[in-house]
């Protein structure tokens, strides 16, 4: 069982608890991106098991009236085992999801996976008529070129600052440089993309920049934030813009919860307070 303090960031261990959370979000005009927690499997069997759970999940979402899609990590569905395993399992998920009219996001992991992930995205989004999205990271110097390539493809692109500690030879290490790169990527996207822009950030300055660009170019966009982070802002923004919340669930919640707690001292205080209040 997930302890109540972890429930702020993780929607339980089962698909049923995750979908229950999605329903409460939808009631607040927020859509959901459901993610089964799991990564870096070194054999096919857990990867195939997670892929099977995603297929059931998209069927459940398809049968419901929920506004929800899914997001999958490449190393969760076999990338560490082999590119062919990843491609096969991804296609099984995307085929089922497309049948059910459920959108599929591909999360982006560290820079060693960027090429394989973008190639798989291109193949899937072309075959399945734009029913797929991929994440790109502003902290990688290569991303501007990647985004130029993605501009001509169907599907969606999620812009994030980047969560992985990358080598200085290929990445911006300084916060200001990452922010500058993020702003420039958004500028390029709002000017050149027809649609399909997702702004995956909690940063008020980046969100304001996206809104200004939307007003300047008229290009549609959506906002994406994590469960448990700036939830009040999510609700406020949802009144005016398309808002999606990333909703992780599953038995492998501990390392994800730990990352959320350690990334910000306010989160650490929240956990300590919850423990002391018991």
How is residue 5 annotated by DSSP? G
C-alpha to C-alpha distance for 40 and 158, rounded to whole angstroms: 22
Yes or no: say if 159 and 104 are a contact pair by the CB < 8 Å rule.
no
Report, in Å, the least distance between residue 205 CB and ligand FAD.
7
- Burial letters 199-232, b for 16+ CB under 10 A, else e: bbbbeeebbebbbebbeeeebebbbbbbbbbbbe
Out of 50, 107, 146, 260, pick the active-site residue.
107
Give me the DSSP letters along 142-168.
THHHHHHHHTTSSSEEEEE---S---T
Report, in Å, the least distance between residue 195 CB and ligand FAD.
18
Tokens of 253: 């919640």
Report, in Å, the least distance between residue 199 CB and ligand FAD.
9
Interior angle at CA 100, CA 72 and CA 150, nearest 5: 50
Report, in Å, the least distance between residue 113 CB and ligand FAD.
10
| Footprint on this chain of ligand FAD (rule: CB under 6 A) | 107-108, 135, 137, 160-164, 200-204, 206, 224-226, 229-230, 246, 264
Within 10 angstroms of residue 173's Cβ, the number of other Cβ atoms is 11
Toward ligand FAD, which CB reaches closer, 19 or 138?
138
Task: Please give the C-alpha separations between residue 138 and each of 121, 185, 232, in angstroms, as whole numbers.
Answer: 18, 7, 26
Report, in Å, the least distance between residue 62 CB and ligand FAD.
22
Toward ligand FAD, which CB reaches closer, 5 or 59?
5
Q: Is 110 a catalytic residue?
A: no
Task: Please give the C-alpha separations between residue 69 and each of 61, 111, 172, 231, in angstroms, as whole numbers.
Answer: 8, 25, 31, 19
Q: Is 149 a catalytic residue?
A: no
Out of 55, 87, 146, 158, pick the active-site residue.
158
Toward ligand FAD, which CB reaches closer, 30 or 45?
30
Report, in Å, the least distance between residue 33 CB and ligand FAD.
6
Toward ligand FAD, which CB reaches closer, 59 or 211?
211
Toward ligand FAD, which CB reaches closer, 96 or 109?
109
C-alpha to C-alpha distance for 123 and 148, rounded to whole angstroms: 17
Toward ligand FAD, which CB reaches closer, 265 or 278?
265
Pick the closest to residue 143 from 112, 104, 110, 114 (CA basis): 114
Q: Which residues on neighbouring strands pair with residue 70, listed in sequence order? A: 34, 104
Catalytic residues: 107, 158
């Amino acid at each position: 069982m997930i302890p109540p303090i972890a429930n702020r960031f993780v929607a339980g261990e089962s698909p049923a608890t995750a979908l229950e959370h999605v329903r409460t979000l939808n009631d607040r005009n927020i859509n959901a991106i459901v993610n089964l927690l799991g990564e870096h499997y070194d054999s096919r069997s857990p990867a195939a098991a997670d892929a099977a759970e995603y297929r059931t999940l998209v069927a459940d979402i398809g049968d419901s009236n929920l506004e929800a899609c899914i997001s999958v990590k490449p190393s969760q569905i076999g990338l560490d085992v082999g590119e062919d395993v990843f491609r096969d399992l991804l296609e099984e998920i995307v085929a089922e999801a497309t049948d059910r009219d459920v959108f599929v996001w591909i999360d982006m992991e560290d820079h060693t996976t960027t090429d394989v992930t973008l190639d798989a995205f291109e193949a899937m989004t072309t075959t399945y008529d734009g029913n797929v999205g991929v994440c790109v990271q502003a902290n990688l110097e290569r991303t501007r070129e990647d985004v130029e390539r993605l501009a001509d493809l169907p599907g969606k692109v999620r812009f994030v600052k980047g969560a992985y500690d990358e080598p200085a030879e290929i990445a911006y290490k300084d916060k200001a440089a990452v922010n500058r790169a993020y702003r420039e990527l958004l500028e390029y996207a709002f000017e050149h993309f027809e649609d399909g822009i997702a702004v995956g950030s909690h940063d008020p300055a980046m969100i304001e920049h996206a809104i200004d660009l939307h007003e300047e170019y008229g290009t549609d966009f959506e906002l994406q934030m994590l469960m448990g982070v700036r939830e009040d802002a999510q609700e406020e923004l949802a009144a005016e813009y398309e808002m999606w919340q990333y909703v992780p669930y599953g038995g492998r919640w501990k390392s994800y919860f730990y990352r959320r707690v350690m990334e910000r001292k306010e989160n650490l205080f929240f956990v300590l307070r919850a423990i002391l209040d018991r």
